Every structure is written in structure tokens, then in C-alpha cells.
Chain A
Amino acid sequence: MAFLELDHVSKYYEQYAAVEDFCLLVSKGEFISLLGPSGCGKTTTLQMIAGFLNPTSGAIRLDGRDLASIKPARRGLGIVFQSYALFPHMTAAENVAFGLEMRGVPRAEREVRVRDTLAMVGLDGYGGRYPRRMSGGQQQRVALARALIIKPDVLLLDEPLSNLDAKLREDMQIELRQIQRNLGTTTVLVTHDQKTEAMALSDRIVVMNKGRIEQIGTPHETYEHPASAFVSQFLGKTNEFSAEIRGDGDARKLVAGSCEWQAPAGPSGQVVITVRPEKITFDAAGDNEGLGARVKTRIFQGNHWLFQCETECGPAIAVRQNDGEQQPAEGDKVRLVWRAEDMAIRRAGDVQ
């Protein structure tokens, strides 16, 4: 049974559709990420759940109750904003206590719970500090504590880590995931950071584009089997080659340049195959398997090498671990090889 349900939710501004026909079922305790480029409607969706915007059509239900008639102040959702939105004129402890105060929780209980919550986010003894006197990471923790202390049904995170530097962001991801697991709070996160945040944290991700859902799935399956060109490109670097499925019955083949594979079930015709750069290996055996190519540039990037190649089916990039092996040099003729299960096939003409 879905805990949070978005049922054909749309939001229009005049003619412009910010969010269109958004359907999503979130189970209790699940961690869901909405991701997409800016303007894709993810923040609008989050604001509709929070109640700061009203959907033009459709319904949002929490535990079976329609939220439409419930004011934002009464929804009991915890929100962490991109800017943290801490109350600058209150100390960390006063910030965290605010939600309890609004609920009329007596002072003594408030103090205990504030202390416990601050301890949970690792801010023991920082209660008396004002936000301005705290680092970005500490402010982030205060914001999280403030949202969690009211024991929200759903925790909404709006790009919560985007203002932190890379190292801190990684630490916070791990911590956020642990806290969320321990509390079992249903969480919806919004981010435009395709690789790290959503992948690392989520049970499922929702890729959005131009107000519509492109794909819903676990991070792994979405990455490995993108449903559209948009998803495949948005979730990281990828190679695309045009190919064709020809023949009948058992003789049906998928052909790209000089390569052939067993064709999957489905109609024949023009298709596009996509392969992630890290799935491509260079054929050392020289047995003329794989796509013929020439290395154009070779760039060293520390733990890996990045190759830009010109293949018989157009440009391609490949990434190889820096494992001490001899790597092809610029200008070398190579053959690009990958396993059949590492490529995704979709019909040509499916433009993003």
C-alpha cells in the first residue's frame, strides 16, 4: 500500500506545463529522488507535496488522506531547503525547537528532544551557536535536525547538499542515508546532481524532463537500462551508435558497422544502441572483433584514462581503469568491444 501517492498531478502556469500528469507511489520508509535538469518540474513537484503550490489538477494523498484541503502548516512534513533556510536570529537549539514550540510541546520535553536530535546529527554542544557562526556542513545538520524533530511523515529534501564542497558532500550523503535508514522516515529528495546524490541515496529514482516523468526505477536499473535517450545521457556519459536489426527468425541480427550480435526479440528496422564508456574494452587479441576505431586523444585523469575515439559508426569515448596495464597511444588503431548485455537498444527516432 502506497504511503505517499501522487495521482495524475499537473501544474500549469497559463499555457506552460511545469508538471504534467505526474504519477508516483512511494512506500513507507522509502527514499525516492526526483532528478532532472533545472526547469524539469522537480522543485515544483516538491512544493506541491509541501503545500506551497496547489496542483492545477490531480491529487496528492498521504496515508490515504487527500492533502488538498490541508494547509502547509498542518501537513507535518519536514523540509530541508537548498539554502537551509535557518532562522538567522535564533540559535541552533532555538531553530530545532521551533517546530515543537508550534506544537505546544512543554519546555522540559522540548529541551530533551532538542538535545537528543542535535546529538543524532552530530552537533552535540552546538545548540547555543547562531547559524552565522557555523560552517556550511553544520548548518546543514541543523536544518536536518529541525526537520526531523517533528517526526515528519515525509521528509522533503530540496537540493540539500548542493551548497557543500565535494568532500563534505560525500560524508553527508553517507550520514544522511544512515539517519534515514535508522528512523525509517519516508523521504523525497530533489536534485539536479545526476551521478552522486540520487544514485548513492535512493531506493528508487524518478528522472524528469520538461515536466514529465521519463523513467522510474532503482538507480542501477535506470543507469544500465535507460528508457530514453534523455535518461541515458542525463545519467552520465554515454556512447550512441546507430544500428539495424535485419533478417528473420534465428538469423535475425543486430548490425552496427562491422559488428554483429544476436538480435533481441522485437520488430526489425533502424535502432540506436547505447554503451557506457566504462563498459568498453580494447580488444587486445586482434581477432577483428568489435568496432574498428582510432584513438584521437588520450587524457590521463588519475585513477582512469579517458579515450576519445573515431569509430566506423562515429565518435565514441571509452574509460579505462588505471590498473598499470599498457594503454593504446594517440593515433593507434584499436577495436572497441563490449558485452551484449552491457548495451541498451531502443528504436531509432526516439528523440529526447
Chain B
Amino acid sequence: MSVASTADKGAPWPLILPAFMLFIAVVLVPLAMTVLLSFHDWGQYKGIEPVFILKNWEEIWSDSYFYEMFARTFRIAALATLLTAVFGAPEAYILNRMRAPWKGFFLLIILGPLLISVVARTLGWALLFGGRNGIVNKALMSMGLIDTPIAFMFTETGVIIALAHVMMPFMVLSVWAALQRVDPQVENAALSLGAGSLTIVRRIVLPQIMPGILSGGIIVFSLAASAFATPSIIGGRRLKVASTLAYDEFLNTLNWPLGAAVAVLLLIAIVLIVVGSNALIERNYSEVFR
């Protein structure tokens, strides 16, 4: 039975038009206005002047402060992504090997936080890190892993750990989805050919879930690079990333045009990275998984 009737070619438009108009009016127009805003002038006393100048972009380009800030943003995002991959992928594998009631239970435990407020989750980390005598430091010292307390609050380390926790469900979910497509008999086949369990993981399982790890990585990276609440609470007022800086420009300094420029740059960078790496994954894995 053919899926779509071609008898009525105009039929989809009345259905899709309302949503289309909504997005034109309330997404495209505001985004265009923001891009435009980044070219406007601003002064402490004169406010926003609707002229077309490159001042904000030149400032971002020339001032090393912005360079450092963007480098920090992407460094934090990359390290948080690495953490989620290193810990999330094995966990997804272990989860997948569990038996029925436990599988569902732990999946709920691990994925559930995805839907819990980021502020509440980050608050938890603030409590755990809490100063030099935080619970994490106490636990690490009692286990003999460290001798002196590590500074977590207001440091990149703390932000990276908290972000990895916030983004972890995305990675587990992505690898989990990839694992569902793996034929469990393939591992037994490798076993029958005399492969050890480490060899099986390295040669059989890992290559098959790699697309899941990579696409999970893209999601985590783009979300981590644009994260706001976590770097804001754990990083404090001095450890700025792109989104917290844009927030400051907008709501504290009131230099909207500069804030808009930072935001537009962040948007462009993330879109380029996501689209670029998606294309890369597609090219490298399209033959194997199709």
C-alpha cells in the first residue's frame, strides 16, 4: 500500500503552515535581530545605537580575554565529553549485560537525572565540593587517594566534573542505543574463535558502538560548550565561559551588542562543530552501518 497519496499535492501546507509561521516569527526573526544587534554600537551613557559597525567583533578578535574565555569554554566541554565517554560507554555496556529487573531499574537511576532540574543537580555538586572540607575531599582522603584537599569550587576541575555528571545520561543513552543494534551472538562467535574477553571488547564490541560514542560525544560537547547554570554556580563569578559572559554583558554590564556578538560566535562555533563532526561520522561509518 503506497504511503502518501500524491493526488493532493498541496495537502501538507495547511497543516504545516501554522508551525512554519510561528518559527519564522519567533525564531528566525529574533535570531536575525540578534545578529544585527552584534553590529550595533553601545556606550555607557548613550546605550544601544542602531548603526552598523564592526566594533564588537574587532574587540572580540583583538582582546586576548575573549580568546582565553572561548578556549576555556571549549576545553571544559572537550574534557567533560572525554569523561562521559570514558565512563559512560563502559557503563552502558555493563548495563546492557544485566538481567531484566536490574537493567530497567539502573537505566532509570542513570537516565532519570536527565529530567531533574540542572540547578538542583549542580546544587548537589556544590554541596559535595563545598569548600576545603567537602564530602568529596573527605572521601578521597579517607581512601588514601589524595593527601591534601583538592580545590573543586570555582575551578575548571569542579566545573568539568559537574558538567560530566549533568551530561552523562546523553552518552549512556547514545551508546545504549548503539548496543541495541549489536547482535549478542557476535560476541559468542568471537568467543568460539578463541578470543579473550578483553580482545572481544576491543576488537568486536568497541568498533560497533563507536558511532554511538561519537554521536553521544557531539551531543555532550555541544551542550557542555553552551552550558550556563553549572559553570555559573560551580565556576563562580570569575571563571567565565561563553554563555556566562554573554549573560553578564546582557544583565550586568548592559552592553547588549557585545553580548550578542559573543552569543552569535558561540552559535556559529557549535553549529560548525556539530555539522562538521556529523558529516565526518557519516562518511567514516556509513558503509558499515547501512
Direct contact of A and B (CB under 8 A): yes
Q: Which residues of A contact B (CB under 8 A)?
A: 13, 43-44, 47, 52-54, 81-82, 158
Q: What's the nearest-Cβ distance from chain B to residue A11, in Å?
A: 10
A267 to B268, CA, bound (A): 78
| Cβ contact within 8 Å between A52 and B5 | yes
Residues of A within 8 A of B1 (CB): 43, 47, 81-82, 158
> Which has the most chain A C-beta neighbours within 10 Å: B1, B2, B6?
B1
Q: What's the nearest-Cβ distance from chain A to residue B203, in Å?
A: 41
A43 to B1, CA, bound (A): 7
Task: List 16 interface pairs A-B (beta carbons < 8 Å), by A numbering.
Answer: A13-B6, A43-B1, A43-B2, A44-B2, A47-B1, A47-B2, A52-B5, A52-B7, A53-B2, A53-B5, A53-B6, A53-B7, A54-B7, A81-B1, A82-B1, A158-B1
A44 to B1, CA, bound (A): 8
- For B8, the closest partner residue in chain A by CB is A54
A13 to B9, CA, bound (A): 13
- For A85, the closest partner residue in chain B by CB is B1
- For A52, the closest partner residue in chain B by CB is B5
Query: Which of under 10, 10 to 19, 20 to 34, or 35 or more describes the interface residues of B?
Result: under 10
A43 to B2, CA, bound (A): 9
Name the prevailing secondary structure of the B interface residues.
Answer: loop
Residues of A within 8 A of B5 (CB): 52-53
Residues of B within 8 A of A43 (CB): 1-2
A82 to B1, CA, bound (A): 9
Q: What's the nearest-Cβ distance from chain A to residue B4, in Å?
A: 11
Residues of A within 8 A of B7 (CB): 52-54
Extra contacts besides A52-B5, A53-B2, A81-B1 (13): CB < 8 Å: A13-B6, A43-B1, A43-B2, A44-B2, A47-B1, A47-B2, A52-B7, A53-B5, A53-B6, A53-B7, A54-B7, A82-B1, A158-B1
A54 to B6, CA, bound (A): 9
Q: What's the nearest-Cβ distance from chain B to residue A47, in Å?
A: 7
Q: What's the nearest-Cβ distance from chain B to residue A238, in Å?
A: 31
A86 to B1, CA, bound (A): 16
Q: What's the nearest-Cβ distance from chain B to residue A60, in Å?
A: 14
Query: What is the 8 Å Cβ interface bit string for chain B, positions 76-107, against chain A (1 contact, 0 not)?
Result: 00000000000000000000000000000000
Residues of B within 8 A of A53 (CB): 2, 5-7
Residues of A within 8 A of B6 (CB): 13, 53
A293 to B5, CA, bound (A): 54
Residues of B within 8 A of A13 (CB): 6
Residues of B within 8 A of A44 (CB): 2
A188 to B139, CA, bound (A): 78
A158 to B1, CA, bound (A): 9
Query: What is the 8 Å Cβ interface bit string for chain B, positions 3-22, against chain A (1 contact, 0 not)?
Result: 00111000000000000000
* 10 residue pairs, one from A and one from B, having the closest CB atoms: A54-B7, A53-B7, A52-B5, A43-B1, A53-B5, A82-B1, A13-B6, A158-B1, A47-B2, A44-B2
Tell me the chain B residues, 215-253 only, with Cβ under 8 Å from chain A. Answer: none
Q: What's the nearest-Cβ distance from chain A to residue B152, in Å?
A: 54
Query: What is the 8 Å Cβ interface bit string for chain B, positions 42-56, against chain A (1 contact, 0 not)?
Result: 000000000000000
- For A54, the closest partner residue in chain B by CB is B7
Residues of B within 8 A of A158 (CB): 1
Query: What is the 8 Å Cβ interface bit string for chain B, positions 180-205, against chain A (1 contact, 0 not)?
Result: 00000000000000000000000000
A52 to B11, CA, bound (A): 14
A54 to B2, CA, bound (A): 13
Residues of B within 8 A of A54 (CB): 7
Q: What's the nearest-Cβ distance from chain A to residue B51, in Å?
A: 52
- For B7, the closest partner residue in chain A by CB is A54
Q: What's the nearest-Cβ distance from chain A to residue B143, in Å?
A: 55
A72 to B197, CA, bound (A): 61
A81 to B2, CA, bound (A): 13
- For A51, the closest partner residue in chain B by CB is B7
Q: What's the nearest-Cβ distance from chain B to residue A160, in Å?
A: 13
Residues of A within 8 A of B2 (CB): 43-44, 47, 53
A44 to B2, CA, bound (A): 8
